[in-house]
Amino acid sequence: MSVYHQNKSRFIQIMIVAVFAIITGQLIHLQIFSTKYRIMADNNAIFRKVIYPDRGIIFDRKHRAILENTIMYDLMVIPSNAKNIDKEALCKLLNIDTTEYRKRIVTAIIKNTSVKSSVFEPLLSPELYARLNENIYKFPGFMLQERSIRSYPYNTAAAILGYLGEVDTAFLRKYKSEGYEMGDYTGLNGLERTYEKVLMGQRGIKRFLRDNRGRIQGSFEKGAFDTVAIAGRNLYTSIDIEVQQLAEKLLQNKIGSAVAINPKTGSIIAMATSPSYNPNTLIGSERRKNFGRLLLDTARPLLNRAIKGQYPPGSTFKPLGGLVALDEGLITPSYGFNCFGAYVNCGKAVRCTHAGGGHAANLRKAIAYSCNSYFVHVFRMAVDNPLYANPQKGYLKWKNYMNTFGLGVPLGIDLPGEVKASIPDTSRYNKDFGGFARWNSCNILTLGIGQDRMTATPLQLANLMCIIANKGYYYTPHIVDSIENETIEDTAYLTKYRTKHDVTHVADSIYQTIQDGMEDVTIYGTASFLKVPGHSYCAKTGTAQNPHGKNHAVFTAFAPKNNPKIAVAVVVENSGYGGTWAGPVATLLMEKYLNDTLSTASAKKAEDFSKINLIPEAIKRWYHRKDSIRVAREREKEKEMEKTHEIEADSIVNTKTTFDPEAEPNRKNDDNKNEQQNIIKQPPMLNNQQNDKKKKKAN
């Protein structure tokens, strides 16, 4: 009996030990072999707060801040603390009704629970902030939280500086490894985008302990694992904000663009596009509304025409045409062409503004008077150059010249979205004319006067001026001259803007001839009525035909002639003569830059010019319609369609506008395949025959 009980007691003891062994086994499994619980515990209890550093400031040529940071306030609420308050008073302050109040509180609770703070009203206006700040003690549970946002103190240079926007899922997927999180802001356009990594600085992370309801209990391990936020670095640009303001002012009420470059360094002094917008409207609480409005504007204010507008250069191309002929040895400076008012050697007449009087008696005169016949003839000579087997080979040689002078290739400016415009390839013409080599110089003769399928961006035209002004070299146009505390990567990036590009081995004397001709333009030629006080300057006017209405006015120039400090290209769409509508913009910009101020007469001229409205009728009608009551309804729909994160804002617009103001006549050109916006459907372009028929003239 006793032994029997002994056994039973032993059995109970063994059972107890067995259970303890099982428990110990599970403890070993949980505590020693499983690592996931530690991670889960950290996810539970450690709240990582990202500390956003101040973004870098962007300065202009004279170290004036043109893009800086400012503090704005969000009204925050902790719903569980915000009970028993005077809702009516708060609603009255915020100008909302109590239904809206309740809606926002419910949204806050859904988003962030009722014990954590959520944004009740973001980015308060300064007046509202002042009023709320006085009264905030009356509303427990509500508080004002500061937030650093961007500010554009000059209200200008929107297209250059760009803007910030919240990252979206597509962006996060694309830049997975760069540590962005939902809700972060990133540069979406302009310098903000190109130099995002420099400007953003390095985010810091603070770790806090939080409890089961998400309330912060204090710092984790006394901040031992925290990292410090490092402020973004500043950018020093070559923009002269006063010249920039003047350029934007002169282009008011017009559609077009102006680019000014310092030829000696390639630094961009001003880059204006019109219509533009006040960049300060894209920050703050109105951002969504304003962005939607800009996005749907038929005149496309979000399009930076300086680098994305593709215009036929028209007669401003002629100096380069002459230069090619000289370099190829096809003509001498004294070569003359007997023009009697039209070029008829290819059958159909290409008209010329001047007739007889020896206006094309030599190259200088031909440039000064902008003789179409002369340059068509010279172009044909280049294509039909007996040195090359056939016109196609001659054409390729000519195209090669164009590309080395920066036409038809992207220059590589430090702004996103630059297009390369178009110098068509032979394959394009093979297609146009129905087969290989089924065309000759006669078929494409208007290329010689900057028409046909040739297009260029204002930036390319300005860069061309730089090359002529420098007699053969250029620096890639750029906006940022230097970066604060430049790192090795920064230097590597900026090196491409600090490298001198020698174009070809064209003799100085040839450039001299071209420069002389361009100076003659300003002395007795097509721009003789425009002066830059105190400086001699060289210029070329252009009046480019296009399939979308009145001619584009084009004007390229550089000054002073002997020691060029500024090269300018201006395009005013659908306005008329280049000298009349683009010329004043260029000369006033040069005067402002070279003399640092405008003379009284010029200031008045600038004032008057800025008031002239050259916006095409169709767009005026669009604006008019937009203002009518009917459109108020449409805007409701627009709100829905509005997309905040549109890096390539322009591409969307196209599908929605009925009228395209047309910046890019040769849009469908195959050469532009690489450009993102090529998806756009445009009215079929006019073919060459039509072009030839409505013959053209430059000035």
Partner 1 sequence: MTHQYHSMRASQKADYIVVWLYAILVAIGIFCIFMVEYNPDHDIFQSFIGGKTNYSRQLFFAGFCIIVATFILLSDSKIYTAFSNLLYAFGILLMLATFVIGENINGSKSWIRLGGGFNLQPAELCKIFTALALAKFLSRQETDFSKLKSQIIGAAIAMVPAILAIAQQETGLALVYSAFFIVMYREGMPATILIIGFSFAALVIATLLLEPNTLALILTGIALFFIYLLRKQIKKQKKILTSIIVIWVICVGIQRFAVPYIFNNVLKCYQSTRVYSMVGKDYDCSLNKHATASPTKTVRKPDDYNVRQSKIAIGSGGALGKGFLKGTQTRGKYVPEQHTDFIFTSIGEAFGFVGSFIFLLLYLALLFRIIFIAERQRSTFSRVYAYSVASIIFFHLTVNISMTIGLFPIIGIPLPLVSYGGSSLLTFTMLIFILLRLDADRQMVLR
Shortest Å distance, C-beta 113 to partner 1: 14
Give the side-chain half-sphere CA count within 13 A for 375.
30
- Minimum CB distance to partner 1 smaller for 5 or for 693: 5
If one counts every other C-beta atom within 10 angstroms of the C-beta of residue 53, the result is 17
CB of 226 to partner 1, least distance (A): 16
61: its two tokens: 């040529």
Backbone angles phi, psi at 468, to 5 degrees: -65, -40
**Which is nearest to 450 in space by CA: 550, 367, 330?**
367
Kindly state the smallest distance separating residue 276's Cβ from partner 1, in Å: 51
Residues that bind partner 1 (CB under 8 A): 5, 8-9, 12-13, 15-17, 19-20, 22-24, 26-28, 30-32, 34, 36-38, 40-42, 44-46, 209-212, 217-218, 220
Taking the C-alpha atoms of residue 315 and residue 553, their distance in angstroms, rounded to an integer, is 10
First to last CA, the chain: 129
- The dihedrals phi and psi of 64, each to the nearest 5 degrees, come to -95, 135
Beta strands in 527-622 (DSSP E): 538-544, 552-559, 566-572
Residue 80 — φ and ψ, nearest 5°?
-70, -25
> Which CB atom, from 8 or from 92, has the smaller least distance to partner 1?
8
Name the E strands within 285-443.
342-343, 350-351
Distance between CA atoms of 166 and 182, rounded to whole angstroms? 8
**How far is CA 464 from each of CA 264, 266, 304, 323, 386, rounded to the nearest angstrom?**
13, 11, 19, 12, 28
Q: How far is the CB of 36 from partner 1 (least distance, A)?
A: 7
Whose Cβ is closer to partner 1: residue 16's or residue 182's?
16
- Of the pair 43, 98, the CB lying nearest partner 1 is at 43
Residue 229 CB, shortest distance to partner 1, in Å, is: 24
Phi, psi for 459 (deg, rounded to 5)? -65, -40
What is the C-alpha to C-alpha distance for residues 437 and 434, in angstroms, rounded to an integer?
Answer: 9
Is 24 or 227 the residue whose CB approaches partner 1 more closely?
A: 24
Q: What is the C-alpha separation between 281 and 297, in angstroms, rounded?
A: 15
CA 23 vs CA 26, 462, 546, 582: distances in Å: 5, 81, 86, 88
Query: Minimum CB separation from partner 1 for residue 37, in Å?
Result: 3
**DSSP assignment of 574-594, as one string?**
T---HHHHTHHHHHHHHHHHH
Shortest distance, CB of residue 49 to partner 1, whole angstroms?
16
Q: Is 356 exposed, middle or buried (0-12, 13-18, 19+ CB in 10 A)?
A: exposed
Q: How is residue 116 written in tokens?
A: 């954590």
Q: Which tokens belong to 606?
A: 């600038």
DSSP reduced 3-state for 295:
helix
Q: How far is the CB of 657 from partner 1 (least distance, A)?
A: 47
CB 273 to partner 1: min, Å: 53
Minimum separation from the CB atom of position 45 to partner 1 (A): 4
Nearer of residues 14 and 523 to partner 1, judged by Cβ: 14
Distance CA 32, CA 37 (A): 10
Residue 21 has what DSSP assignment?
H
Cβ nearer to partner 1, comparing 44 with 148: 44
In whole angstroms, how close is the CB of 25 to partner 1 at the nearest point? 10
Residue 14 Cβ vs partner 1, minimum distance, rounded to whole Å: 11
CB of 10 to partner 1, least distance (A): 10
44 vs 125, beta carbon nearer partner 1: 44
| CA distance to 1, 2, 17, 73, 301, per residue, from 10 (Å) | 14, 12, 11, 74, 91
Report the relative pairing of strands 235-237 and 58-59 from DSSP bridges. parallel
Closer CB to partner 1, residue 30 or residue 228? Answer: 30
* Nearer CB in complex with partner 1: 37/340: 37
Our CB check for partner 1 shows the closer of 222 and 693 to be 222
Residue 102 neighbours by CB under 8 Å, 6+ apart: none
Quick one: how far is CA 418 from the chain centroid?
8
In terms of CB distance, is 207 or 667 closer to partner 1?
A: 207
Least distance from partner 1 to the Cβ atom of residue 29, Å: 9
Q: Which is nearer to partner 1, 207 or 365 (CB)?
A: 207
Q: Which residues pair with 351 in a beta bridge?
A: 342
568: three-class secondary structure by DSSP? strand
Give the residue with the Cβ less far from partner 1, 11 or 175.
11
